[in-house]
Amino acid sequence: MTRLIDSTACVCDAQLWLTTLEHMLQQVNGHSLGSDAQDRASLKRDLREFLGGEVPLHQLDDLTKVNPVTLETVLRCLQARYTEDIFYTNAGCTLVALNPFKHIPQLYAPELMQEYHAAPQPQKLKPHIFTVGEQTYRNVKSLMEPINQSIVVSGESGAGKTWTSRCLMKFYAVVAASPTSCENQTTAERIEQRILNSNPVMEAFGNACTLRNNNSSRFGKFIQLQLNRAQQMTGAAVQTYLLEKTRVACQASSERNFHIFYQICKGATEDERLQWYLPEGTAFSWLPNPESSLEEDGFEVTREAMLHLGIDTPAQNNIFKVLAGLLHLGNVHFVDSEDEAQPCPLMDGTKVSVRTSALLLQLPENMLLESMQIRTIKAGKQQQVFQKPCSRAECDTRRDCLAKLIYAKLFDWLVSVINSSICADSSSWTAFIGLLDVYGFESFPDNSLEQLCINYANEKLQQHFVAHYLRAQQEEYEAEGLEWSFVNYQDNQTCLDLLEGSPVSICSLINEECRLNRPSSAAQLQTRIESSLAGRPCLGRNKLSREPSFVVVHFAGPVRYHTAGLVEKNKDPVPPELTGLLQQSQDPLLRMLFPASPEEKAQEELCGQSRAPALTVVSKFKASLEQLLQVLHNTTPHYIRCIKPNSQSQPQTFLQEEVLNQLEACGLVETIHISAAGFPIRASLCSSGCPGTHSVDQAVSHQNFIERYKLLRRLRPRASSGLRGMGPARRSSGLSDNICFGGLCLQRGTRQLTLELLESGRAQMLEQCARCIQCGWRRHRLEKQEKQRRAAMLIQAAFRSWLTRKHIRRLHRAATVIKHAWHKWRIRMACLASKELDGMEEKPMPQAPGTLHSSLSPAHTRFLGAIVHLWPLGLVLANSADGVRGFQRKLVAHACLRLPSGSPSSKVQTPQQDQAGITSIRALPQGSIKFHCRKSPLQYADICPDPSASSVTGFNQILLERHRPV
């Protein structure tokens, strides 16, 4: 820390440079600057601003802008930003995240998520984990084939990895669940809720309070967020690694058990306490440090999350009852037996704990106690069975093994339930975004197999980062023949060779000790490691330690591992008596976790006869870690480095020494050096096409480069655009080494400008193509609408014509029916009238000398013709109460009866205007018809009138009148 830059010295150097530069300018110009005081003052002001005016450190969003790039300057910048409550800073391809150790709601608000999601270029916003999340999401939405993405969240224990992963999951659940229908919206909300609910469940059953973190993940997890072709989240899958199940029965000093045990004891209701035998104030050996913490208050949240994941209330009560049985099992203690042939007796007062644990686990009490006190041995070719009482230490070990076995199976079952609830069908998703949250680097006073595996995983991840970015980028620069000065970085390959190398390594020696048919000794294991791996640079020894141990110099610092109990933990033996005991349980959950199948028994017998070596913890963990790294190699990785400002988890506290150790361990300065000096084009050509130096480096092949920028050959540069080629004036100035591509002429020396010009030209070409597509689409849409309009008009005209023809046909049919009915009625009336008249022969009637036509006007003549044609209707009108009146009525009557109008001797008396009218043409006369004639009532009745245009036949039809009674 003594090399921190003194700001006063920087200002003095700036003043010196200012004076020297002024003197040089005077010599070049050949005259004094004092001749033009205004220009001199302006130049001096610009020089002072350039040389002496530093940008405040807290305003530097990227550590590549720090000058010079050293551990001290990077440390100062991070401290200045942390003081201003700015917790995220870019470091080339990596995002540095400082743990604030306090709740800041506005820093992770949904509005801020939408702001980063809707930004055209999120990398131009302030650094945030949402920037990395949005970039990975846009990479999946590539114009080319979707590329699986992964985010590696690394850092020490307590640096904030779990919180970062939780916020990223919330971000993807918000931005990747944008349905288009109500049904899709319901499905998306259900998936989002289930994915988010997996966090509190897994944290309750897999996290614990350690010396460095109150919410430390005691297992590793890789969460695979599955996206369909529309980039909508359809599901997720969780892969876990190496649960620290030994924490159930053994906790280090000042550490605690898993959160779920404390949540049960604090959050259970009175009825539940009675059911689970958890009275208030009960002390449990496996629940140390029962002081209140925030994690204990999440019992209702855990239960609600389990309910959303498909674990109903009865199943939850069954789980919590089993966990309560494990707590009571921890209170079972033994004392040394006076006779080695007799089992170890129980400690006073623990008989109740055995009975309560057996009751909660639904196991026979005597069998539970016997499985912990007596060991069954099979020996000889005949597999004879012997029973041997266990020592006190062995009884405690078998008790702890029973608890660890139940809890590990329960945790695996919960993970399977979560996956079955949130995992989508393989045919419904095409790409994924992976979130890797593993345990951070750990170094405690007492380190055993758990810390060795955890630090081994961190070494593998660090090596993946070194191989992917630091080493690969520099080797590619060398292969391409570029001028490049190599940056020294800390390569941890030697440490990995010590841990997993061939033919001899620490892991191989520990596994070999497990296969030997003899008891393992801690001192003997230490001797074998020191003798077999002597001379390895990363292997050390603590000579002051009295306990057998060895030291491994990791990338993050040296760690001392105790060899006592290391081999037993690696074997992880499960006595068959314990498995058989759990298979006899009457509890539904335990019977499901430990099914009694004959196939398993036969397999166990075969394994025992062949004496095949069982898989150790280190072997299984190494295999799962290799699968994880293979997945990471097949994805585009992004890195988030979490830094812990202090080990006391105090807000607004920045301890420089602790942060400096973390910066040295993760190789952050080397990363910044390579990112600052490297070619930003490689860092910017991500598959989403977003320029900028903040994205993770991804080598772009020549074929991909051509595929991305080949459309620039059709670009037509504008006269006023800055994308035109450089003119001869600039070529003559010595900058002739240019690259011409399509309509662009790019200078080789300005890499960032080259990238911006390429991206700008590509955006311009895409804009032109989009405009052409829009014009063509609009023209096609207008033509389609015009065709649809013409077709609609033709359809409407045809339909109206069809309706008109239908209406006319209907009227024609109606007229035909009326005509036929009218002819039928005429014929029937003629027949009836002929029957009622006398049988007198009709004789031709001479034309009357004087006719009615002669005395009428032309209008009356036409009216008379119409009446003659419609004589039945005329008769009706003439004799109805509502008919014609006066002269017209008489005229109608005369015309209908065909009476001579000029005959003075004939007179027809018509009924009065107030008569009731005609009743029936066939009815008998109700009154009298009086004809005042000299000769005959019907003078011309037997005479056929001459046919004429207005003549009718059948004048023998008479109208019978009804007179009003006197």
Binding site for ATP: residue ranges? 155-162
Q: What distance lies between CA 640 and its chain's CA centroid?
A: 21
Give me 658's structure tokens.
């602790």
> What's the CA gap between 599 and 597, in Å, rounded?
5
Give me 814's structure tokens.
């109606």
Instruction: Render the burial of 67-93: b for 16+ CB within 10 Å, e for the rest.
Output: eebbbbbbbbbbbbbbeeebbbbbbbb
What's the sign of the alpha-carbon dihedral 591, 597, 600, 606? positive
Contact status, residue 494 vs residue 462, Cβ threshold 8 Å: no
**φ, ψ of residue 142 in degrees (nearest 5):** -65, 150
Measured over all CA atoms, what is the biggest interatomic distance in the chain, rounded to whole angstroms? 171
> What's the CA gap between 306 and 309, in Å, rounded?
5
Query: How far does the chain reach from its first CA to its final CA, in angstroms?
Result: 146
From residue 557, give the alpha-carbon distance in Å to each of 349, 444, 658, 666. Answer: 46, 12, 12, 10
Going by C-alpha positions, the residue among 68, 143, 149 that lies closest to residue 698 is 149
Contact status, residue 478 vs residue 438, Cβ threshold 8 Å: no
What's the sign of the alpha-carbon dihedral 445, 448, 452, 454? negative
> What's the CA gap between 122 and 130, in Å, rounded?
9
From residue 599, give the alpha-carbon distance in Å to each of 276, 350, 413, 706, 929. Answer: 34, 37, 21, 59, 125
Going by C-alpha positions, the residue among 891, 885, 960, 948 that lies closest to residue 921 is 960
Residue entry with tokens 């190789």: 667
Q: What distance lies between CA 955 and its chain's CA centroid?
A: 99
Q: How does DSSP assign 579-609, residue by residue?
A: HHHHHT---HHHHHHS---HHHHHHHHHHHH
**φ, ψ of residue 154 in degrees (nearest 5):** -125, 165
Going by C-alpha positions, the residue among 736, 559, 627 that lies closest to residue 224 is 627
**φ, ψ of residue 149 in degrees (nearest 5):** -115, 155
> What's the CA gap between 316 and 311, in Å, rounded?
6
| CA angle, residues 679, 680, 685, in degrees to nearest 5 | 115
Residues 6+ apart with CB under 8 A from 697: 93, 468, 469, 473, 678, 682, 683
Count the helices and strands in the chain (H runs, E runs). 33, 18
Q: What distance lies between CA 756 and its chain's CA centroid?
A: 32
Contact status, residue 224 vs residue 338, Cβ threshold 8 Å: no
From residue 440, give the alpha-carbon distance in Å to each of 114, 451, 481, 659. Answer: 31, 10, 39, 15
Binding residues: 155-162
Amino acid 160 reads G
> What's the CA gap between 529 and 537, in Å, rounded?
14
Residues 6+ apart with CB under 8 A from 86: 58, 126
DSSP β-ladder status, 149-155 and 431-437:
parallel
Going by C-alpha positions, the residue among 493, 651, 663 that lies closest to residue 94 is 663
Amino acid 767 reads E
